[in-house]
Amino acid sequence: ETGVTQSPTHLIKTRGQQVTLRCSSQSGHNTVSWYQQALGQGPQFIFQYYREEENGRGNFPPRFSGLQFPNYSSELNVNALELDDSALYLCASSPGTAYTDTQYFGPGTRLTVL
């Protein structure tokens, strides 16, 4: 196991609602990255947090936002949910932001938007 945990495991929401997903990083890791994986596709990078600051962002609208806490755990918030937001949301922690720092993935949160 990677030591990265995510909650909840599954979630069902309706269009227009808001959702918060949580991730606890592996001990000693200060960087958390979030990815969205739609069915049948590879994960897509949403954003990365390093020491409580957003360090980079992919091509996602502002209604996708995040936070990182002093213990390096992280939240992903999605406002005004759309049907296309249905996906597996993965967080990955790493010991830093260098290209040599391996990312370790949590088990994911499966979000269904009805």
Site residues (CB under 8 A) for other proteins? 2, 31, 33, 35, 40-45, 48, 55-56, 58, 88, 90, 92, 94, 96-108, 110
Tell me how far, at minimum, the Cβ of 56 lies from other proteins, in Å: 5
Tell me how far, at minimum, the Cβ of 16 lies from other proteins, in Å: 27
Going along the chain, which residue ranges are E strands?
Answer: 5-7, 10-13, 19-24, 31-37, 44-50, 53-57, 64-68, 74-78, 87-94, 104-105, 109-113
Tell me how far, at minimum, the Cβ of 66 lies from other proteins, in Å: 14
> Residue 9 and residue 64: Cα distance in Å, rounded?
19
Comparison of 50 and 80: residue with beta carbon closer to other proteins = 50
